[in-house]
Amino acid sequence: MKRRDFVRGGVLSIPAAYLAMQGIGPAAAQSRAETLRVLSEGVPNTFDPSGAGANRESNGFVWNVYDRLVRFSRYEVADGVYHYDYYNLEGEVAESWAWSDDGTRLTFRIKPGLVFHDGSPVTVEDVKWSLDRVVSMPASARQMSTGSMTSPDQFEIVDDRTVMAKFDRRDRFTVPNLAIIFPGIINSKLARQHATAADPWAGEWLKENTAAGGAYTVESFTPGQQIVFSRFDGWKGGPLPTLRRAIHQLVPASSSRAVAVERGDTDIAMGIPPQELAALEGKPGVRIASVPMRNAFQFIGMNNTLAPFDKRGVRLAIAHALPYEAMFNGVLRGRGRPLFGGTEWAPSTAQFPAPQPYVTDLDKARSYLAEAGMAGGFETTFTFNIADEAVVEPIAILIQEALAQIGITVAIEKVPNAQMGTMLTEKTIPFFFDVSSAWLNDPDYFFRIFYSGDWRWNYGSFKNAEMEQLLADVRFESDTAVYETKVRRIIEIAFAEAPVILLWQPSHDIPMSDTLTGYTYYFHRQVDYRVLNRV
């Protein structure tokens, strides 16, 4: 895709987007049977697989436009609805892969005959350059290091169809990391034409352009309004999709998105809150794909480095003051799996996320506040992303009312998505609501990402020496009993310290046309156009 296509058309109004959604405009020429329309509250803010600050829609963009060496397979959870299978992978660019007996070499054999969107062949040079890039770009380097991929020196071309990666020892997270968003295979010949000495990986150019070979190409992008995808008929990374075109449009109001899917004006509506989902249930022509999000969670974050949340007693006071049942049943309508109300402070299993031993108990909350020397309470600000307003504002009001009963005065602050991301990265928010998900599913990975380190995803800015040592101990542990014993202790520390408060794992509920089948839930919570079919 060229820059002129990226900016073509300028920023159009939302009413114009809605007319286009109903078939007035370029989409009308395409058969409805072969065209998909998706409405969401955002559009991609970068096209780069390793783009800094990428939003959710960018993840969906990369998923459909770029290929990876491997991908997760999937399993059916309901009629025509699927969940990705973390423990079973299949080749996309790779035909096969194998570890050496000593676990120090991982060899990939590349499929023959693959081509990029510009018609040039996918070569081992492209694969190596893409791997070199993903471990070098700041936005992706930390994640790839969780699979022991840290340096371009690890990757080596063996022959014209074989690439090898070198390691000190086998890492169970290496191959799954190659199936996530970041390591898209890039047309290096094209990208390097736009690299500079200051930008050797062409990051600036790839923000607004593609050098890809995935199942879909970018037909056009109108910033602030919509993106149109066209099927790449030369794709050989999997079965050729049946949908020739996908139109992803921004419609900020969830109520407008819900109305559109009810009327049959769109095929999929993203980000519909529980109360509007309830109104859509049973409507003619509408199906709600509901999938449990085993890797995702919604939570209350508390910055453990900012007073008064640096006090354990304050965090536990809040953990025992939150109105869990009112939030979960009254706002979420019970759609999900509670992560509150657990009975074990010392867990008997190594499964995580698991229900924490917190219930609404205002007397206990006041006791914890007194223990922290804050018996008189304090004032704070509770922040959330305005894009999640429909669900989170009622939750924020309930939290405000509940904490007032133990002397904590809460001012509610709504901020735009981009600002929220910056504030989380810079660690300036003391108390907040957010949603996140783990890209890999092992429990120690969860703690390594969300309870340790100096990056955005350690939402509580939590530091605990014992937990850090335990995480290091289990990193390559092969004895299941030893692994589970140490993970149980990690969970026990998290319960006792309450660096963040996990609320629930919501259901991934997507209202869509009942003519669609094959919808698949992935860790990035975006639509995979490649596997959808119209019946």
204: left (phi over 0), alpha (psi -120 to 50) or beta: alpha
Confidence label for 335 from pLDDT (cuts 50, 70 and 90): confident
Give the amino acid at 54. Answer: A
With the C-alpha atoms ordered 188, 190, 196, 199, is the resulting torsion angle positive or negative? Answer: negative
Distance, CA of 390 to CA of 387 (rounded, Å): 8
Q: In the beta sheet, which residues pair with residue 230? A: 217, 245
Distances in Å between the alpha carbon of 127 and those of 258, 310, 322?
41, 45, 49
Confidence label for 418 from pLDDT (cuts 50, 70 and 90): confident
Cis bond upstream, residue 353 (ω within 30): yes
pLDDT at residue 388, rounded to an integer: 86
Q: What fold, for 296-507?
A: Dipeptide-binding Protein; domain 3 (3.10.105)
Distance, CA of 238 to CA of 235 (rounded, Å): 7
Percent of the chain scored above 70 by pLDDT? 94
pLDDT at residue 32, rounded to an integer: 74
pLDDT tens digit sequence for 303-331: 999 999 999 999 999 999 999 999 999 99
pLDDT at residue 292, rounded to an integer: 81
Confidence label for 1 from pLDDT (cuts 50, 70 and 90): very low
Distance, CA of 66 to CA of 64 (rounded, Å): 6
Residue 196 and residue 91 in contact, taking contact as beta carbons nearer than 8 Å: no
Q: Residue 22 above 60 pLDDT?
A: no
Residue 8 and residue 220 in contact, taking contact as beta carbons nearer than 8 Å: yes
Q: Residue 21 above 70 pLDDT?
A: no
Min mean pLDDT across 19-23, 273-277, 461-465 is at 19-23
Please return the burial class of 28, using the count of CB atoms within 10 Å of its CB with bins 0-12, 13-18 and 19+.
exposed
Q: Residue 19 above 80 pLDDT?
A: no
Superfamily of domain 3-251+514-534: Periplasmic binding protein-like II (3.40.190.10)
Token pair in block for residue 161: 């169809």
Helix (H) or strand (E) holding 140: helix 138-145
**How far does Cα 197 stand from its chain's mean position?**
32
Query: How many Cβ atoms from other residues are within 10 Å of residue 34's Cβ?
Result: 14
pLDDT at residue 293, rounded to an integer: 85
Q: Residue 123 above 90 pLDDT?
A: yes
pLDDT at residue 270, rounded to an integer: 95
The C-alpha angle with vertex 11 and arms to 8 and 17, in degrees rounded to 5, equals 100
- Structure letter (DSSP) for residue 121: B
Give the amino acid at 310. Answer: D
pTM of the model: 0.84
Q: Residue 108 above 90 pLDDT?
A: yes
Q: Residue 27 above 70 pLDDT?
A: no
Percent of the chain scored above 90 by pLDDT? 83
pLDDT at residue 390, rounded to an integer: 84
Mean pLDDT of 332-361: 94
Q: Residue 437 above 80 pLDDT?
A: yes
Three-state secondary-structure class, residue 150: coil
Domain boundaries, the chain: 3-251+514-534, 296-507
Higher pLDDT: 16 or 203? It is 203
Distance, CA of 343 to CA of 165 (rounded, Å): 45
pLDDT at residue 422, rounded to an integer: 87
Q: Residue 13 above 70 pLDDT?
A: no
Helix orientation angle between 14-21 and 254-263, rounded to the nearest 10 degrees: 20
Query: How many Cβ atoms from other residues are within 10 Å of residue 198's Cβ?
Result: 7
Q: Residue 440 above 60 pLDDT?
A: yes
pLDDT tens digit sequence for 280-305: 999 999 999 998 888 889 999 999 99
Token pair in block for residue 433: 């609501």
Q: Do 296-507 and 3-251+514-534 fall under one CATH topology? A: no
Mean pLDDT of 233-238: 96
Helix orientation angle between 443-450 and 465-474, rounded to the nearest 10 degrees: 140
> For 404, what's the count of Cα atoms within 13 Å in the CB-facing half-sphere?
9
- Cβ neighbours of residue 373 under 8 Å, at least 6 residues apart? 311, 313
Give the amino acid at 425. Answer: T
Residue 89 and residue 72 in contact, taking contact as beta carbons nearer than 8 Å: yes
